[in-house]
Structure 1
Amino acid sequence: MLVLLPPSEGKASSGRGAPLKLESLSLPGLNESREAVLDALVELCAADEEKAREVLGLSEGLRGEVAKNVELRTAGARPAGEIYTGVLYDALDLASLDAAAKRRAGRSLLVFSGLWGAVRPTDRIPSYRCSMGVRLPGLGALGTHWRTPMASVLGEAAGNGLVLDLRSSAYAAAWKPKGEVARRTATVRVLHAPTRKVVSHFNKATKGRMVRGLLSAGVSPKSPAELVEALRELGYVVEAEAPAKAGQSWALDVLVDEIH
């Protein structure tokens, strides 16, 4: 099972350890594109703070994020699973998983990123600010920049098993499963059961708890249909829609009563 996650906007501070080693990151086929984004981002932030803030969509209160990006090559690095914070990652709570579940997380989770493309939770990265929706000078829209390298690398990473896609739309733009991979991909919406409306905050929390439940239970569904059964066994109310035609993914709706 391969689980695709969005990153968090907010991130923990960089560590005090060794700085980034690009060659040590998972999915080495992305390294050339990672280098290009890293160079463009550091150059932008070092040259003009105001322009960088505008390009990155940062408010006055987040001015310090620009300086953080300038130091990306020298700042200490931490496992990505510690860098990403926020509602989904608080609910997932990787640090409190038992050893077996942590190993499963290391094998199955991929966090998408405007800067790194995608990383595993064990990959050591510095804290940064650069969303997938950014258009960097010289590179353009990052969602477009990542499509070509992602197409070959992610197809291989998906292997022959289930792909559980929990990304937001901006990150989904960087790689869209196609063909045979699409048929074993499931995307998930979290809906308020009485109103059938998509929930926001609780959407992220539910997805985090859902992934945690799968990792903790040690289940590894091999298809979207098996995933539906596994989630129902974990107590979730799930409605599934199989793809109507080739090249489409399964669509799963997880129904919740709480919306806070």
Structure 2
Amino acid sequence: MLLLLPPSEAKSTGGDGPPVDCDALVAPRLGATRRRVLTEVAGVSADEGAAAAALKLPPAVVEAALEANRSAATSPTRPALDRYTGVVYAGLDVPSMGPDVRGLAERSVLVFSGLFGIVRGSDLVPDYRVPVSATLPALGPLTPVWRAALRDAMPAVLRTSFAVDLRSTDYAGMWPPTGPLRHQVLGVRVLSPRPSGPPRVVSHFSKHGKGVLARALLEKAAAGAVPEDVDDVAAVATGLGWQVVQRRVTGGVPALDVVLPG
């Protein structure tokens, strides 16, 4: 089982690992594209005005974000599971994982990244702030850059694994599964109920719920019952006290909606 997660803009700083090795991350064939993006990000980050617009940075984070981006190729690294600290990762709660669950997360979590394309949970990455919605002067919008690169890389990463897709819309756009892989990748939406009308995505609660679900799936797998299909994932969500609705998307591919408690 693999878990496809979005990154978080919030990240821990520092680290004690060596500078990032773009060829040592998961999917080494992405190395050349990673270096191009890394170089371009460092260059644009030298110009605060241009970078803030290109990288869509909120004013409150511009200074720290650009400093991190300028030094991303040489700064200390730490495992991706420890680098990302946003709402999804608060729900995942990596610091409280036992060694079996942590080891499985290091192997099973794939984080989609505007700077690196994808990283595995154990991959050593620096601090940075590069949303995939960014547009860089020499490369243009990042989403099509990564979509082209990931189209060739992802089949070798997934192979025959069942994957649970918990990405947000922006990061799902980096790699939409095609062909037979569509039947290996289960898209999951995490919804919140409303007093009237159908459940809908509420960003904060959806993100946190994705982290909680990912944690529950890892714990299930670490206990020896690896989720292998939509029914297994639905059972884990039901065990959390959530409502589940199985649905079909184009081509009859299964998908799952989970509804958080009110």
Can you give the 5+ residue segments of structure 2 that lack an aligned partner in the other structure? Answer: none
- Contact 1:97 1:216 (C-alpha < 8 Å) held by counterparts: no
Q: Any idea what SS the aligned residue of 1:72 has?
A: coil
Offset of residue 228 of structure 1: 2.1
1:224 match: 230
Residues in 2 aligned to 1:120 and 1:138: alpha-carbon distance in whole angstroms: 27
Q: Superposition RMSD on alpha carbons, in Å? A: 1.7
Q: Any idea what SS the aligned residue of 2:257 has?
A: strand
Offset of residue 244 of structure 1: 4.9
- Count of aligned pairs: 255
- Contact 2:30 2:117 (C-alpha < 8 Å) held by counterparts: yes
Residues in 2 aligned to 1:244 and 1:174: alpha-carbon distance in whole angstroms: 19
Offset of residue 187 of structure 1: 1.3
1:81 match: 81
Which letter does structure 1 place at the counterpart of 2:74? T
- Contact 1:184 1:224 (C-alpha < 8 Å) held by counterparts: no
- Contact 1:14 1:76 (C-alpha < 8 Å) held by counterparts: yes
Q: Any idea what SS the aligned residue of 1:198 has?
A: coil
TM-score by length of 1: 0.92
Offset of residue 197 of structure 1: 2.4
Can you give the 5+ residue segments of structure 1 that lack an aligned partner in the other structure? Answer: none
Residues in 1 aligned to 2:33 and 2:155: alpha-carbon distance in whole angstroms: 17
Residues in 2 aligned to 1:44 and 1:19: alpha-carbon distance in whole angstroms: 20
- Contact 1:162 1:224 (C-alpha < 8 Å) held by counterparts: no
Return the match for 1:206 from 209, 212, 215.
209
More off after superposition, 10-19 vs 117-126: 10-19
More off after superposition, 182-191 vs 133-142: 182-191
1:148 match: 148
Match runs of 1:1-150 below 5 Å: 1-46=1-46, 48-64=47-63, 65-150=65-150
1:253 match: 257
More off after superposition, 128-137 vs 220-229: 220-229
Q: Any idea what SS the aligned residue of 2:45 has?
A: helix
Percent of paired sites with the same residue: 36
Which letter does structure 2 place at the counterpart of 1:146? W
Residues in 1 aligned to 2:77 and 2:139: alpha-carbon distance in whole angstroms: 25
TM-score by length of 2: 0.91
Offset of residue 4 of structure 1: 0.7
Offset of residue 242 of structure 1: 2.9
1:181 match: 181
- Contact 1:161 1:223 (C-alpha < 8 Å) held by counterparts: no
Which letter does structure 1 place at the counterpart of 2:101? A
Offset of residue 234 of structure 1: 4.5
Residues in 1 aligned to 2:201 and 2:69: alpha-carbon distance in whole angstroms: 34
Residues in 2 aligned to 1:189 and 1:74: alpha-carbon distance in whole angstroms: 37
Mark the CA change 1:2 to 1:60 in structure 2 (over 3 Å): closer, same or farther: same
Offset of residue 225 of structure 1: 3.1
Residues in 1 aligned to 2:231 and 2:154: alpha-carbon distance in whole angstroms: 22
Q: Any idea what SS the aligned residue of 2:39 has?
A: helix
Offset of residue 95 of structure 1: 2.2
Q: Any idea what SS the aligned residue of 2:251 has?
A: coil
- Contact 1:191 1:255 (C-alpha < 8 Å) held by counterparts: yes
